[in-house]
Amino acid sequence: MFWYRNLIKLSTPIKSKTPITKNLLQASLSNFSTANQPPASAQAQPSGLGPTKPHDKPRVVVLGSGWAGCRLMKGLDPKLYDIVCVSPRNHMVFTPLLASTCVGTLEFRSVAEPIARIQPSISSAPGSYFFLANSTAVDTENHEVHCETVTDGTDTLDPWKFKISYDKLVIASGAQASTFGIHGVKEHAIFLREVHHAQEIRRKLLLNLMLSDVPGLPEEEKRRLLHCVVVGGGPTGVEFSGELSDFIRRDVHERYTHVKDYIHVTLIEANEILSSFDDRLRRYAIKHLTKSGVRLVRGIVKDVKPENLVLTDGSEVPYGLLVWSTGVGPSPFVNSLGLPKSPGGRIGVDEWLRVPTVQDVFSIGDCSGFLESTGKPVLPALAQVAERQGKYLAKLLNKICKDGGGHANGAKDMNLGDPFEYKHLGSMATVGRFKALVDLRQSKEAKGISLAGFVSWFIWRSAYLTRVVSWRNRFYVAINWLTTFVFGRDISRI
Amino acid sequence: MFWYRNLIKLSTPIKSKTPITKNLLQASLSNFSTANQPPASAQAQPSGLGPTKPHDKPRVVVLGSGWAGCRLMKGLDPKLYDIVCVSPRNHMVFTPLLASTCVGTLEFRSVAEPIARIQPSISSAPGSYFFLANSTAVDTENHEVHCETVTDGTDTLDPWKFKISYDKLVIASGAQASTFGIHGVKEHAIFLREVHHAQEIRRKLLLNLMLSDVPGLPEEEKRRLLHCVVVGGGPTGVEFSGELSDFIRRDVHERYTHVKDYIHVTLIEANEILSSFDDRLRRYAIKHLTKSGVRLVRGIVKDVKPENLVLTDGSEVPYGLLVWSTGVGPSPFVNSLGLPKSPGGRIGVDEWLRVPTVQDVFSIGDCSGFLESTGKPVLPALAQVAERQGKYLAKLLNKICKDGGGHANGAKDMNLGDPFEYKHLGSMATVGRFKALVDLRQSKEAKGISLAGFVSWFIWRSAYLTRVVSWRNRFYVAINWLTTFVFGRDISRI
């Protein structure tokens, strides 16, 4: 660190106007040179956080920062545990509002909550950490997780490998978008699961709007550029189609008048849209979407090419923007783990959300499912389920530690109390401006309240506004909605 | 367009649950296939907007969307002219506040103003357009500009070439950051001129903060990752250094407590910092920056490597983030134009901002300078100069059109009235939290008011708040400042 201490010495105010003594600077800095050495990361062996000692706080390692992991970390008591989170992103995405950010109704930052705000101890407590990294393997024998830093296009850095010993491990790394093995989906379609997906959609939509205005472009090419195709008629696909058609009617018609007649939205679904909702609500959604200009097409995609997609009946649909939202499946990381699996290939857990074959490993959220032996169905991949599981597990882990079982192998024969029970609170989806669906039935077969229209839209907005995690983001979401209402959506392409 | 009309037919509500007739869909879509054809753009010849007819509105073509171009478009009367803007970005950047966005004090969108909001006719009037494109050449003989669309990483699109005929052409395409031919600057340093630069700086800063927290990383590598080096001590470099040190003292110390002692800022300048300001203000800035932890180093950079830079005296300075703000020079586009040049290689203009050797071509902003023959000095590359020139030229062009000289070659011997006169209103720069410099002298030698401290900081904020172009952005800048004050800066890395 010689170079550094001497650099500080040189930093006295330069008002004296004496030139910096070159020899001093040279002498002090010359023995620091990373350029001709191998990078520091290549010299050292993988290192990390070793096992905790019996008188230390036990360590909970959380893999992932989605609904499940973040709700868990929020509920864990930092006085009982050191909390270590490993995730490739340092924020939680408020997924139900993500579709609104693609067209500028909401700002990207309003739907992203930094983990340090959800669990402040992670950035300040001495033994708690957030690591921007991917977990590559779990060694359940030695109670260790293997990780690798995310370097994200920084070409001068090699990923740094390290290991973390855990007392309790919670795998909440989520699922990944399903492509059903269809060729070209990964290359040409955009998913809608992360903030960078929404950013990509927004940039591409605005690019296509501007490119289609260029003089001399053939009519067909204009229509292709401005044909937005959404594949998948679940809540995400329907909400995105609704936002898009509202954007077209409110903003494109005013700000892109030259091309307004060329832009169209098509929603392709193999079965029924919003299949988890009440029939009456589904008919309402279909009517409303059709009225606002969204074309609903029933079809199955066979192949995706750079400028068009092919349906199973051979017909080709040209597109300028293709958004893919057909549900999720297990990630390669989950597939690679030597743990028991639930139906559907998720990590199998028992009624207490434990992986029963090994000690101290739990799994929650979209990556986990009840084992067949529990006799319970695998729960749907919903924010609601993940959030409830995170809350339950935080309470359970706090109890385990209070009962003296916080350290590795310390809870072997402990009575864990009540198992996890899931009660569905209902589903919500918006279908465009001032219109939404609220289905408060506990299951598809049950009876209960279902609403459609302005009142539901109001419930939808209020529900989300009170759930956005921090006061800062609640405030920003409200401000974003207000400015969109007053000034229209933001169309700068940055 | 068969595929398209038929797709509409299919979009009747699917509540009837009858499957879509496959043959119909196939028949209707099969004759549209872009996959096996060359892209439409490759088939057609370059086309564009032809010359205006004598009874049409004349057309002003503006190249660029910076301070000069945008102020001009704002002032042009859309009843007199059709306005066509060609620029690779569809918004104006409020550059004086750009440094604040790098650390999350302000949001990116708060400093970007869509051109359609500055001059609404550009997106709605029948003959006015905004084209997301670069201009590649100017044919002054035929009154034509050659353009090429920006496709920006969209691998399936070839750039589309087109020509635009102009009655009046205003070149306001700006300058580009100077590297002084130093090796490695373009590859490893980040400039601070566009919103995407600020985004890159923010992402890299947060990445380095998180990477340096990883267990087992050597001390030297930690210090390197968290060493932020700014080259260039003009207002941009000083403001960015001030913002960065404030971010470190306010936010890093609270949210990244594990690494807070490793992060440092060094500002390297070959001569004096803030050389255009009063001596007293400069001393104040030096004192304040040093107090808040910025190291000021006098030195000249010789070479930039991926992880360190080399000064002319041979000393090496390791860095994790390198920001380059050493001023601007002519862009390759300006160099390629066969027009007379001012000292310094800018497009040479006369007292009325005309290029005197050709008809109907004007140039304003950082890309233009007074010809030596005018006896006037080349004005500095400041937002203030560009804005004043845009305002003047808008008035002049409106007058020309009212006097009947709007069409090509129509203003040959016209009396243009008063020439452009520049009066310097003073300079402002912030040097961190609650501290700024305001120098209201008209030139370096003149006498006048100069202020430093809280009052100037208040003037600085008020001045910018009233200048941010639209009410929407004024509102957002105020809201951003308020939330930063209340909640701290946003640290989610999206």
ipTM for this model? 0.83
Report the topology of domain B47-175+330-402: FAD/NAD(P)-binding domain (3.50.50)
- The predicted structure's pLDDT at residue B482: 84
Instruction: Work out whether strand B47-49 and strand A450-453 pair parallel, antiparallel, or are unpaired.
Output: unpaired
> Hey, what are A44's tokens?
């050292």
Q: With an 8 Å Cβ cutoff, is A186 touching chain B?
A: no
Q: What is the mean pLDDT of each run of 10 residues along chain A (494 residues)?
A: 43 36 33 36 59 94 96 96 96 90 88 90 91 95 94 71 96 94 94 93 91 89 95 92 89 86 94 86 91 93 94 94 93 95 95 95 96 93 92 97 94 91 85 80 73 79 75 83 80 75
Pick the residue from chain B with its C-alpha nearest to A86.
B214
Q: What is the pLDDT of residues B118-158, one digit of tens each?
A: 999 998 898 999 999 999 999 999 999 999 998 876 655 67
Question: Does residue B11 surpass a pLDDT of 80?
Answer: no
Please state the domain extents for chain B: 2-32, 47-175+330-402, 185-328+425-487
- The predicted structure's pLDDT at residue B155: 58
Q: Residue B34's pLDDT band (boundaries 50, 70, 90)? A: very low
- The predicted structure's pLDDT at residue B473: 82
Q: Between chains, do B287 and A13 touch, taking CB under 8 Å as contact?
A: yes
Q: With an 8 Å Cβ cutoff, is A478 touching chain B?
A: no
Alpha-carbon distance of A314 to B26, in angstroms, equals 6
Q: Between chains, do A207 and B129 touch, taking CB under 8 Å as contact?
A: no
Per DSSP (E only), the strands in A272-431 are: 294-298, 301-304, 308-311, 316-318, 321-324, 328-329, 347-349, 361-363, 368-370, 427-430
CB atoms within 10 A of CB A162: 22
Amino acid at B449: I
Q: Residue B29's pLDDT band (boundaries 50, 70, 90)? A: very low
Q: What is the pLDDT of residues B405-460, one digit of tens each?
A: 999 999 888 899 999 999 888 888 888 777 888 887 777 677 777 777 788 787 87
For chains A and B, count residue pairs whose Cβ atoms are closer than 8 Å.
Answer: 339
| Chain B CB contacts of A219 below 8 Å | 1
DSSP string of B349-371, one letter each residue: E-TTSB-TTSSSEEE-GGGEEE-
Q: Residue B13's pLDDT band (boundaries 50, 70, 90)? A: very low
- The predicted structure's pLDDT at residue A43: 41
Residue A299 φ then ψ, to 5°: -175, 165
Using CA atoms, how far residue B1 sits from A218, B78, B326, in Å, is 11, 34, 53
Do B47-175+330-402 and B185-328+425-487 have matching folds?
yes
> Hey, what are B189's tokens?
């340093």
Q: Options 3.40.50.300, 3.40.630.30, 3.40.50.12780, 3.50.50.100; which CATH number does B185-328+425-487 get?
A: 3.50.50.100
DSSP run (H or E) holding A127:
none
Alpha-carbon distance of B467 to B201, in angstroms, equals 25
- The predicted structure's pLDDT at residue B46: 52
Q: Between chains, do B475 and A491 touch, taking CB under 8 Å as contact?
A: no
DSSP string of A22-51, one letter each residue: HHHHHHHHTT---TTS--HHHHSPPEEE-P
Q: Between residues 366 and 405 of chain B, which touch chain A (CB distance below 8 Å)? A: none
Tell me which DSSP letter residue B252 carries: I
Query: What is the pTM assigned to this prediction?
Result: 0.86
Sequence-ordered alpha helix ranges (H) in A358-439: 383-402
Quote the minimal CA–CA distance from B115 to chain A in Å: 8
| Chain B CB contacts of A313 below 8 Å | 22-23, 25-26
- The predicted structure's pLDDT at residue A153: 64
CATH class of A185-326+425-487: alpha beta
Alpha-carbon distance of B407 to B397, in angstroms, equals 11
Residues in chain A: 494
Contact predicate A184/A317, CB 8 Å: no
Domain A49-175+330-402 has CATH 3.40.1280.10: no
Amino acid at B328: V
Pick the residue from chain B with its C-alpha nearest to A287.
B13
Quote the minimal CA–CA distance from A318 to chain B in Å: 7
> Residue B491: which of A116, A133, A203 has the nearest Cβ?
A116
Sequence-ordered alpha helix ranges (H) in A310-467: 332-336, 383-402, 454-467
